[in-house]
Amino acid sequence: MTDKDKQTNELDDSAPHALFSRVEKNIAYIETALGNSTDLVIRHIQLNKTKCAVLFIDGLVDKHTVQNFLMEALMLEMPKRRVSVTTLYNTIKDASLPIGELEEVKQFKDLFSRLLSGETLLLLDEETSALAASTKGWRDRGVQETNSESVIRGPKEAFTETLRTNTALVRRKIKDPKLRIDGKVIGRVTQTEIAVIYVDGLADESVVEEVHSRLDAIDIDGVLESGYLEEYIEDAHFSPFPTVYYSERPDAIAGGLLEGKVAIITDGTPNVLLVPALFVNFLQSSEDYYQRYDIGTFIRLLRLLSFCVALFMPSLYIAFTTFHQEMIPPSLLISLAAQREGVPFPAFVEALLMEFTFEILREAGVRLPKAVGSAVSIVGALVLGESAVQAGLVSPAMVIVVALTAISSFVFPSYNMAIPIRMLRFLFMILAATFGLYGIILGLIALIIHMCSLKSFGSPYMSPFAPLTTKDQKDVLVRFPHWGLFSRPSTQAKNNQGRTSHSSRGGQS
């Protein structure tokens, strides 16, 4: 065992909880604990004959704030007459530092948490408490437009990787004192900050308690993205369908909060979780509420049609061409037979080959740099499709089926709903190749039973369809005008379902 390992073990064994009274001993302990890290900045100063030290992590603090609002106040505005250490400490804490957030720290665990979060520490000799000043100032990406949830009409701002920026974006949308933001720290090593947000009086208290309970039960060394939390708190761990909704759009999260849902913001990621999550939420977009109600209804119905096409079209083609030719019009059947005359594979193998090829192209387009990703995807699809038809490996009809299926899968506003559809598509293709339409119907029945059995934080996943709630149908497949949406979803906002009055409609009656 090396001397460094012995020193580390001694440090872990001693593990002092309270700060020492000598500033040199505190600094030595901090330096040893951080492994003499080069980004730790220590500035030794003397205030009124008392040894002091200012500590911060370079890159995590705003040096302008440290210089102008902390160092300048300490070195130029301190009393010149001799005072006791306690008086000096209280003067600094109560009257000298023009910084909004100033907290006392008495334990090393709290000290390291604040130091590594971008705060500046002030240590005084003969004082067992330190002062932590909020000087966070690391560089972030800033508020930009999201690439994954773009809209034509509506706000263009998106969440960032900074927790406090994200909570501020939600505050800008909901200026209500009942908006609650509860903080947590998860991850033994990463110490990731989490914010649980809900509107008091709208959110169901049992759901809020369940969210806190599931988050408190997480014991993991690190949380680098909200996906870590999603896998811990979701209801159905082995279902392909997501039971936790996430979004990068502040307006989408604010809309969910107004319906009585609970949001979970994770520091370091722009993806904010929202629970409970229902199946219909993944087929809806924020833009549905910004366009006129007739346009929003048409787009929602178009998404539902695209959902069916993306899930069933290849399997229906396989079933009709393999087992149920009598259901195809004669002229179309003759045309399909002529196209498949030189194809050496059955329809199932043909569809499987094309689907796998397109999935590979899709992943390649996502992983490649943006400058070449889209070009490779488009050119690859055109060249491979045309070449496969010219070589007689697939029929032109199959290329059309696969292309229409792929385009339909891009219509979903939520990416994590498109993935299970892509996976289940292959299962339905196997059922169609084995049992024809009977296999597709049996698979559909099993799928509906499975989806009806799911719950998300106590809310039925298929509500308001199962169980059927008539008054909630105003904002599912169709969207009523805003003056007609006078109630919140009954399965979520159980405490306060009133959204607007019946008489708030403008214009002529």
Q: How far apart are CA 107 and CA 123, in angstroms?
A: 13
pTM of the model: 0.84
Q: How far apart are CA 225 and CA 247, in angstroms?
A: 13
Q: Is residue 282 part of a domain?
A: no
Strands 130-134 and 102-105: antiparallel
Task: Give the range of the structural domain holding residue 45, as residue numbers without chain letter.
Answer: 3-134
Q: How far apart are CA 102 and CA 119, in angstroms?
A: 10
Together in a domain, 76 and 26: yes
Among candidate residues 88, 117, 134, the one where a domain is terminated: 134
Residue 180 per-residue DSSP state: E
Confidence (pLDDT) at 342: 77
* Among candidate residues 479, 435, 448, the one with its CA nearest the CA of residue 286: 479
Together in a domain, 273 and 318: no
Q: Is residue 500 part of a domain?
A: no
Confidence (pLDDT) at 372: 64
Q: How far apart are CA 410 and CA 43, in angstroms?
A: 56
Together in a domain, 326 and 429: yes
Together in a domain, 258 and 398: no
* Among candidate residues 39, 37, 49, 128, the one with its CA nearest the CA of residue 82: 49
* Among candidate residues 125, 259, 265, the one with its CA nearest the CA of residue 193: 265
Q: How far apart are CA 50 and CA 69, in angstroms?
A: 20
DSSP structure string for 316-371: HHHHHHHT-GGGS-HHHHHHHHHHTTT--S-HHHHHHHHHHHHHHHHHHHHHS-HH
Q: Is residue 239 part of a domain?
A: yes
Q: Is residue 195 part of a domain?
A: yes
| CB crowding 267-291: b at 16 or more within 10 Å, else e | bebbbbbbbbbbbbbbbbbbbbbeb
| DSSP bridge pairs for 350 | none
* Among candidate residues 18, 109, 120, the one with its CA nearest the CA of residue 69: 120
Confidence (pLDDT) at 48: 78
* Number of domains observed in the structure of the chain: 3
Q: What angle do CA 104, 109, 112 make, to 5 degrees?
A: 80
Six token digits for residue 321: 């061409």
- Residue 150 CB partners (closer than 8 Å, separation 6+): none
Confidence (pLDDT) at 2: 47
Together in a domain, 263 and 317: no
Together in a domain, 53 and 174: no
Together in a domain, 120 and 190: no
Together in a domain, 448 and 306: yes
Together in a domain, 354 and 440: yes
Confidence (pLDDT) at 427: 95
| Residue that is written with structure tokens 């909570």 in the block | 167
Average pLDDT of each block of 10 consecutive residues along the chain (509 residues)?
Answer: 45 65 91 90 86 90 85 74 80 80 89 89 90 83 80 87 91 91 91 93 91 94 92 92 93 92 94 93 89 90 92 93 89 85 85 86 75 64 73 83 88 88 93 94 95 92 87 85 79 65 46
Confidence (pLDDT) at 16: 63
Confidence (pLDDT) at 499: 66
Among candidate residues 87, 114, 134, the one where a domain is terminated: 134
